[in-house]
Structure 1
Amino acid sequence: MSMFLSTSDWKHVPMLRRVLLLCLMFLPQALPGEEIDFEEQILPILEERCLYCHGEDEQESGLRLDLRARMLRGGDSGLPAVVPGKPDKSYLVEVINHVDEDMAMPPDDDKLPAEEIDLLTRWIEAGAVIPGQMEDIASEQSDHWAFQSVVRPEVPEIKGAVTAPRPLTVIDAFLLRSLTEQGLSYSEPADPRSLIRRVSIVLTGIAPTPEQTEAFIEASKIDSEQAYTELVDRLLQSPHFGERWAQHWLDVIRWAETNGSEANLYRKNAWIYRDYVVRSFNEDKPYDVFVQEQIAGDSMGAGEATGFLVAGPHVPAATVGREPAAIRQARADRMDEIMQTVGASVMGVTIGCARCHNHKFDPITIQDYYSMTGVFQDVEFGSRYPEFAADHPRRQRGEAIWKEIAKQRGVLRQAGSWEENWGAFREMHFKPITTTAIRVRFKMANVGLDELEVFGPENYGENLAHKRRGTKVSGFPEDGFEGRNPIRRVNDGEYGTMTWRAKAEKDADKQPYVRLDFEQPETISRIRLSSNREYYFDTDYLDKKPYLPRYEYDVDIMKSDGSWQPWVGTWHTNTQLDKDHPERKPALKKIQNQIDLLSEEGPRPSFVGRFIRPDVTHVLLRGSPENPRDEVDPAGPAIFGGDLGLTQQAPGSKRRAEFAQWITSDENPLTARVMVNRLWHHVFGAGIVTTTSDFGKAGAAPTHPELLDWLAADFVHPTDSADAAWSTKAMIRQMVMSAAFRQSSAPRPEGLAKDAGSSLLWRFPPKRVEAEVIRDSILQASGSLDRTIGGRSYRIHNEKKTYAQWEVVKNYGPETWRRMLYQERMRRVDDQMFTAFDFPDCGQVRDKRPVSTTPLQALNLMNSDFVIAQSELIAERAERESGDELKSAIIRCFELLLSRQPETDELDACLEMATQTSLSLVCRTLLNTNEIAFLP
């Protein structure tokens, strides 16, 4: 476009525009190679074209172009507007060239004249010099309270009066100061009956038995402080403590045993991660170690802990399809699930908001987001054998089983070759041979393989056929069935539905075969074939389970002269050798038995993530994998000093290990704050920060900021020498030993008038208990509760076709009488009972559960199969334990369910009901009282 207009064009230009154009015509124009003057040549362009929307007064999309430092930082897109010396990397050059019409700038005007675009481009290429601004740096900064270092505050002096004598703690000192300022004080202490029920449910999730309640009441009459201290210590040591607090953690990370997609497939053996969480809380594993193991447990002897990283939902490869763009998008979505899990649970920051642009509220950039994805680039949703420390019981049991397998292999080796069935794959063992190539000739027309692996006697687990070793694959048919399943898939290291499929005519001269050419001569002794190993490892409970057909094939090895020599074949191995060596069958049977035993008692493929080679990480413009931009190194957010000193060449395990150390270091002020606030939420019903997974600017302000920081500091560096650093139990103990926790929940007019939500804790805030507490306490009352810790989840669902939906088959039989923590946790499935009590779907982070009141809750607690069956068992127990005397049986029902005896009018009403109907109906009525559903 020329800077000069014809007379006919000129008359259509508005007057103000004519003046500006005339000014521009007489601006000095730089020639190629000449030095560009910012004040004379660049600034007028910016003032005319850009600064109205991107200047001092207004910065649309967060972009400011009158300051060099802000140009380098860029706007909300997260891409630098200017990269000195690199116009091809400068987003400003892209938008003024209208590369993407949706982001063309200026938005409402014609494209800039070519001369102006050229000036801006050459100015950037020359270093984007702006006199007086060359030393300025724009960095992410924030004065937001949660992003500052934790500093232990002074403990306030207690000045307010307390309504009854009781020990006061540091927690009480902070709370009483706030109450005094509002003219409030604590309520009276809770009565012993209410207190034992409250603390038992908070710490273990199970109501106390009548015997435990009465024993505590009697002990409290002698020495209430000692009785309560001993009660708390006993509950903290209970194995049910870990179950209770594991449930809270699993809610936050959205852990479930299905993937939540259209197929909603089962995640096989995902439960071993759940058991790890239970065990960690019971052992009081230091919280920093707990976090580190969940991020990098594969290098810490706690391989099952990485189930944390793949706890969120995902779409499996079979559902994604084969379109490359769809595969890339699905991979980006899976990485985002990891970001949500890590961000919400440990950091308390909505990291995912920076996926497409800089965070709107918090100082987290799109570069920060993709730097964090770089940390986890080696993680893929799927299964693997977890890495266990030498003293792990599963590893020890596995080693014993492997010794027996090795013994039987010694027997088979004397007879020649043999084939083992490992479910996910079949493995042929044979006499070692050194060769440069092998050929596997199939004796059937239809073949499907996702992977064909070759191993030698050395480096037992190293796949010599993998393409990364330079092994070349060829064969027939090269393109697979109908050209959609190429043979290159058999050595790409990927298991699952992306397979090589061959289909030949029955009478054809040429049958399917695979040839593998090694980069150098290799000594081989095993080959392994699988057709959909991913499905076998990852899923279960399908009515048409994936399996590997027993293929018939011969293996040839290449001789030094280039000819082929037959070496081993399945027919000879499985048929002829059995005839010649009768000892083979019993030995192989023993091996198969040990393989089955290994899958149950030793390390087993479990849905705790699998690891792949990390790809180079790019910033994705607007979150799209189709728009990769600058490379970023693995790191945490810059605002928290997240530079890990890593490059793109760092192995995945090192990336995660370094990140795990950083996220639990003093450089990150969020980790300790977020966890103590989460503990407070579950003890008192609401966090000091009520948005327990969002400590950013969009989250709630803390009700007691100094108390929160004192707790966070004490969590990491406890003032009590008896407490270990990062001890979850010690922190919870502080909270439940406070006078605030031990006060009555009864309302008081002055408290309701000034603090209706009880956030200042002038009383213990009443709260409804979770679905699990209701169910587990009912089972305890009936005497049916199976208290076994850990193991496979109990099933209430059907087996299904791949794309069918899960259905509840039976949710009340004896096989389900374990704690609800162990019920199969299925996404998008109503369990037809406790989903009504806000049991989470696990599709979204549930840092705190909603509390609803619906008719379905009352109907389920009155008419469900579970409640009817349990009510009959409770009635039978009460009658048995009261000598079949109805009045005494009713009293016993109250004790079993409500931890108290009935009032006179209650007893009379229940006696009349039981006489006219049944005692079990009385039990069902009691189950619908608020005393069951609320903490006292």
Structure 2
Amino acid sequence: MKLLSITWVHLVASASLAAPVDFIHQVRPILEQHCYSCHGPEKQKSGLRFDIKSEALRGGDSHAPNIHIGKAAESPLIHFITTQDEDTRMPPKGERLSAEEIALLTRWIDEGAAWPDGVDVAQAVDKRDHWAFKPIQPLSGSLDSFVETKLKEKQLSLSQEADKRSLIRRLYLVLHGLQPTPEEVESFIADNDPKAYENLVDRLLASPRYGERWARHWLDVIAFGETHGFEVNTPRPNAWPYRDYVIEAFNKDTPYPQFILEQLAGDTVGKDAATGFIVANAALLPGQIGKDEESKAKARQDELNDMVSITGGAFLGLTLHCARCHDHKFDPVSQTDYYSLQAIFAGVRHGERPLKSADAQKHEEDHATLLLRLAKATHRLLKFEPPALSGTQRTPVHPHRNLERFAPVTTQKLRFTVSATSDNNRYEPCLDELEIYSTSGQNIALASLGAKASASGSWSSDRHRLEHVNDGLYGNSRSWISKTKGGGWVQIEFPQATLIEGIAWGRDRLDEFKDRLPVSYRIEVAQPDGSWLKVADSTDRQTYPGSKAKLAMPQPENVEASVIAEWHDARGELNALETRLSSSKTGPMVYAGRFEQPSPIFKLNRGDVTQPKEEVVPAAVSAIGSPMKLAGDLPEQKRRVALAQWLADPANPLPARVLVNRLWQHHFGEGIVATPNDFGRNGAMPTHPELLSGLAAEFIRSGWSIKHMQKLIVMSRTWRQSSAPNEAGLAADAQTRLLWRYPPRRVEAEVVRDGMLEVAGTLDLKMGGPGFSVFAPNSNYVRVYDPRAEFGPEEWRRMIYMTKVRMAQDATFGSFDCPDAGQGQPKRPRSTTAIQALSLFNSGFVNQQAELFAQRLQKEAGNDLTRQIERAFALTAQRSPAPDEAQVCATLAREHGLPAVCRVLLNTNEFLFVP
């Protein structure tokens, strides 16, 4: 790039003998007049700033550094103020720099760009100097003492403890998301044991209902959905195992470092479903991505951005994605950090993979047994095949399975060479498995037996790899493809020389793909002298008939019936074993990502995939926690493990703070930090920073136990206080941020729906497995999610098991601020709208449950209206009705029926609010 313009070169030369350029009196006025409007204290286009020494010398997002000290001719600053290109010349508007000003700047840089310290117009902000990045300090008092200290500053104090009826309802709604039964409430009220409350807390934390409640909060954070999103929004039918994993993890009180590890690298610890975390977000399907390379690269960048973003938000409480185009403007996250984190996930792809059996060892043993049986069955069928090169015309090749029998020969290597394919050599040949049979009936080509594969050249992707040719797995997704169109060879070497008599091979043993089929080939074995002996080829095969090819008996039609029967029996056994083998090894599938060897990741100029810059290595955020920088050739899996370990290192102050804040938020309705996914400089300040730090320290000290922290919170006087208002508190802190009372709030949609089912007596507590849908079935390519007209027992499970459709809401409860899974929602809004009231009073679901609720009352209280109303209040409000309430309800029941009373009670604030 030519940086110096001829029009002012002579000015530079003539000024070379002058006194050194003075920055304060000569350079800074030029920068202030021409540069500060775009690169000063108010605005920093392209991340470039000229009013602070350190920032100016560092450079911007592009062309950093902009000033090459001592080398004006190589400095982008000089180029942009002298170029004749009107699109890039600076400043873009207003008065251009004069030749004298350009000469001064040039001489200043050549002289060493002297810039005295302490003369900046503004001072650079140390982005690391922020409360969230400070080391965690242990609690120096009780939880309550920190809250009381803040209250005293406002002349406030904690309220008195709530009554026992309110406490048990609060505990159930917060920890379980369900109502307590009237019997449980009365038993707790009557229990005078000093440890009655603590015992209740322990029992609720140990219940499986707890995990179902708290998993929902985590799924909100990561935008978990069971459809792909965007226009077609097709289902992900195997995404639900991740939901079940989260429920199980909360119920087991999985230590938080393990929880992190399992979600980032669950494939290393037998928790395959857990990596659904990485691919929880929406994703474009192949048909929605352009076929050109730029479109594919942009879509891939969006996928990687989601993976970095979800990890940063969930575990660090940082908006890492803000560093995609430039250094983060508020937090100590550089653009290099961002792309280094992308390199962690560079080998992760959206998609399904086999969900490993819980008993992995038994699973592998079953597969190994099937491989032995398969080899015996194939060897049995092999005897029906005419010997190759014997002059007998054999059946045509077939994409599914081909047998090659030859005279027994001792060798240590066999080579399969292709010279033509079924598609006129348009594509490279493909083999899903190459099996080589000894005279004893053993497939000695298996890698598990020590055989090694080599080839003239091989594709390398998640589906097509050289090692797939002898891994004992069938199908296109586990195949080898040559790198040569219409040709190439693959070779298997055994641990020792063995007497062999045949091979079996196929293009796709699952019968899905028929292209790339070798139709002209030869099979050779290595001789002791190093030469190759041909034992079979395709010359005695019949002409390939194309898609009409059938697996036929290779003997003449006039063979004995018993032989035909035996052939069919052997073939049937082999087909059945192939099917079992495939399902045995793959098992059920889970949408938890596919892993492949990572491609290099490059820093992108302003996030543009068409402008790659230097390659980056896998690393974490350099300014936070312990340093973590990995080798560029580190295997994919180890990258994710390293990131999980970095996140769980107590030296990293963010993960513990962020998780504790989430717990606080869901116990009190608002976090100590009101922006739970943004602990950075642009996020909200904590109301009690010392308390948050102390709770984080206690979290780590407890062995990262989430249940321990929840017990600590609910046992506190702060959590147990009454929610009743008082004038002083409302005047000083109307939003109850300082917690002078327990903040009452409406429960979430899931709690409303589950509670209705519970009091109606229809709630199905079946756990796990595929969920239910609240939408009418359809199979359109572009999915239309119309609400179901009717609901039955299949839809009466807890709402956590409702299939989560992106961008489509349940007709009744979607209006209650449910996230649509379009993006993470770590904090739900709490709106009040007319549609909410109309839905709760008039929807078919609510009316149905009100009818069933009435039937329950009639069954449990008989035909006595007074007893029916008392039972209804006990189930919905855990108390008896006041006299006026009982009278109004009785009148309503006589005039409009008992279901009308039930519908009213399901709409009361008492039923819908945490007390």
TM-score (norm 1): 0.79
Q: Take 1:216 and 1:99, find their aligned partners in 2: how far apart are those partners? A: 84
Q: Take 2:86 and 2:309, find their aligned partners in 1: how far apart are those partners? A: 32
- Measure how far apart 1:623 and its partner are: 1.1
C-alpha contact (below 8 Å) 1:472/1:516 kept by paired residues? no
Q: Take 1:692 and 1:151, find their aligned partners in 2: how far apart are those partners? A: 20
- Measure how far apart 1:412 and its partner are: 2.3
C-alpha contact (below 8 Å) 1:552/1:571 kept by paired residues? no
Aligned counterpart, 2:35: 53
CA deviations 1:175-230 (Å, max 9, x no partner) are: 112122221122222111111111011111111112211211211xx23x411111
Aligned counterpart, 2:179: 207
2:418 to 424, 434, 438: 438
Of all paired residues, the percent bearing the same amino acid is 38
C-alpha contact (below 8 Å) 2:381/2:571 kept by paired residues? no
Deviates most, 803-812 or 760-769: 803-812
- Measure how far apart 1:630 and its partner are: 2.1
Q: Take 2:333 and 2:318, find their aligned partners in 1: how far apart are those partners? A: 9
Aligned counterpart, 1:412: 377
- Measure how far apart 1:112 and its partner are: 8.0
1:145 aligns with 2:124: no
Cα distance change of structure 1 residues 664 and 472 upon mapping to structure 2, 3 Å threshold: closer
1:280 to 234, 249, 256: 249
Aligned counterpart, 1:28: 16
CA deviations 1:818-845 (Å, max 9, x no partner) are: 1111110010112212111111101122
1:751 to 710, 729, 742: 729
Q: Take 1:696 and 1:109, find their aligned partners in 2: how far apart are those partners? A: 37
2:319 to 327, 332, 350: 350
Q: Tell me, what secondary structure is at the counterpart of 2:508?
A: strand
C-alpha contact (below 8 Å) 2:21/2:107 kept by paired residues? no
Aligned counterpart, 1:515: 486
Amino acid of the residue matched to residue 70 of structure 1? E
Q: Take 1:429 and 1:680, find their aligned partners in 2: how far apart are those partners? A: 64
Aligned counterpart, 2:873: 894
Q: Tell me, what secondary structure is at the counterpart of 1:741?
A: helix
- Structure 2 residues without counterparts, runs of 5 or longer: 384-397, 406-412, 436-444, 469-473, 495-502, 525-532, 556-563
Q: Tell me, what secondary structure is at the counterpart of 2:200?
A: helix
Alignment of 1:537-548 (within 5 A): 548=512
CA deviations 1:271-297 (Å, max 9, x no partner) are: 111111111111111011111221122
1:689 aligns with 2:697: no
Amino acid of the residue matched to residue 255 of structure 1? F
Q: Take 2:425 and 2:892, find their aligned partners in 1: how far apart are those partners? A: 70
CA deviations 1:241-288 (Å, max 9, x no partner) are: 111111100000001111212221222311111111111111111011
- Measure how far apart 1:615 and its partner are: 1.9
- Measure how far apart 1:671 and its partner are: 0.7
- Measure how far apart 1:702 and its partner are: 0.7
- Measure how far apart 1:572 and its partner are: 6.3
Q: Take 2:101 and 2:267, find their aligned partners in 1: how far apart are those partners? A: 56
Aligned counterpart, 1:542: none
- Measure how far apart 1:530 and its partner are: 9.4
1:304 aligns with 2:273: yes
Q: Take 2:99 and 2:864, find their aligned partners in 1: how far apart are those partners? A: 100
Q: Take 2:83 and 2:450, find their aligned partners in 1: how far apart are those partners? A: 50
- Measure how far apart 1:95 and its partner are: 4.3
C-alpha contact (below 8 Å) 2:476/2:508 kept by paired residues? no
Amino acid of the residue matched to residue 634 of structure 2? A
1:393 to 358, 377, 385: 358
C-alpha contact (below 8 Å) 1:556/1:567 kept by paired residues? no
Q: Take 1:522 and 1:802, find their aligned partners in 2: how far apart are those partners? A: 48
C-alpha contact (below 8 Å) 2:173/2:179 kept by paired residues? yes
Q: Take 1:241 and 1:450, find their aligned partners in 2: how far apart are those partners? A: 54
- Structure 1 residues without counterparts, runs of 5 or longer: 6-20, 31-36, 156-169, 419-424, 474-486, 501-512, 532-546, 718-723
Cα distance change of structure 1 residues 441 and 626 upon mapping to structure 2, 3 Å threshold: closer
1:613 to 591, 597, 601: 597
Q: Take 1:208 and 1:299, find their aligned partners in 2: how far apart are those partners? A: 40
Deviates most, 72-81 or 777-786: 72-81
- Measure how far apart 1:440 and its partner are: 7.5
Q: Take 1:755 and 1:318, find their aligned partners in 2: how far apart are those partners? A: 54
CA deviations 1:393-433 (Å, max 9, x no partner) are: 25356446536644652452233379xxxxxx996485799
RMSD: 4.5
C-alpha contact (below 8 Å) 1:348/1:693 kept by paired residues? yes
1:738 to 716, 738, 743: 716
- Measure how far apart 1:666 and its partner are: 2.6
Q: Take 1:734 and 1:687, find their aligned partners in 2: how far apart are those partners? A: 16
Aligned counterpart, 1:458: 446
Amino acid of the residue matched to residue 587 of structure 1? E
Cα distance change of structure 1 residues 25 and 246 upon mapping to structure 2, 3 Å threshold: same
Alignment of 1:550-569 (within 5 A): 556-560=520-524, 564-565=537-538
1:629 to 601, 613, 631: 613
Cα distance change of structure 1 residues 398 and 871 upon mapping to structure 2, 3 Å threshold: farther
Q: Tell me, what secondary structure is at the counterpart of 1:259?
A: coil
Cα distance change of structure 1 residues 98 and 905 upon mapping to structure 2, 3 Å threshold: farther
Deviates most, 430-439 or 633-642: 430-439
CA deviations 1:443-493 (Å, max 9, x no partner) are: x999999976445633369999999x82379xxxxxxxxxxxxx9998799
C-alpha contact (below 8 Å) 2:428/2:487 kept by paired residues? no
C-alpha contact (below 8 Å) 2:226/2:237 kept by paired residues? yes
C-alpha contact (below 8 Å) 2:277/2:592 kept by paired residues? yes
C-alpha contact (below 8 Å) 2:353/2:589 kept by paired residues? yes
Q: Tell me, what secondary structure is at the counterpart of 1:606?
A: strand
C-alpha contact (below 8 Å) 2:163/2:722 kept by paired residues? yes
Q: Take 2:449 and 2:429, find their aligned partners in 1: how far apart are those partners? A: 18
Cα distance change of structure 1 residues 596 and 766 upon mapping to structure 2, 3 Å threshold: farther
- Measure how far apart 1:688 and its partner are: 0.5
Amino acid of the residue matched to residue 201 of structure 1? L
C-alpha contact (below 8 Å) 1:398/1:603 kept by paired residues? no
C-alpha contact (below 8 Å) 2:41/2:51 kept by paired residues? no
1:850 aligns with 2:821: no
Q: Tell me, what secondary structure is at the counterpart of 1:384?
A: strand
- Measure how far apart 1:361 and its partner are: 1.7
Alignment of 1:859-878 (within 5 A): 859-878=838-857
2:156 to 169, 181, 184: 184
2:794 to 815, 821, 842: 815
Number of aligned residue pairs: give it. 834
- Measure how far apart 1:680 and its partner are: 0.3
Q: Take 1:925 and 1:821, find their aligned partners in 2: how far apart are those partners? A: 25
Amino acid of the residue matched to residue 457 of structure 2? G
Aligned counterpart, 1:477: none
C-alpha contact (below 8 Å) 1:408/1:590 kept by paired residues? no
- Measure how far apart 1:148 and its partner are: 1.1
CA deviations 1:893-928 (Å, max 9, x no partner) are: 222222222222222222222222221221111111
C-alpha contact (below 8 Å) 1:556/1:564 kept by paired residues? yes
Cα distance change of structure 1 residues 101 and 405 upon mapping to structure 2, 3 Å threshold: farther
1:238 aligns with 2:212: no
Aligned counterpart, 1:784: 762
- Measure how far apart 1:792 and its partner are: 1.2
Aligned counterpart, 2:93: 108
C-alpha contact (below 8 Å) 2:52/2:124 kept by paired residues? no
Cα distance change of structure 1 residues 122 and 622 upon mapping to structure 2, 3 Å threshold: farther
Q: Take 1:78 and 1:682, find their aligned partners in 2: how far apart are those partners? A: 46
Q: Tell me, what secondary structure is at the counterpart of 2:829?
A: coil
C-alpha contact (below 8 Å) 2:428/2:485 kept by paired residues? no
Q: Take 1:85 and 1:576, find their aligned partners in 2: how far apart are those partners? A: 83
CA deviations 1:327-367 (Å, max 9, x no partner) are: 11111111111121011111001111111122222222212
Q: Take 1:113 and 1:451, find their aligned partners in 2: how far apart are those partners? A: 67
2:457 to 470, 480, 492: 470
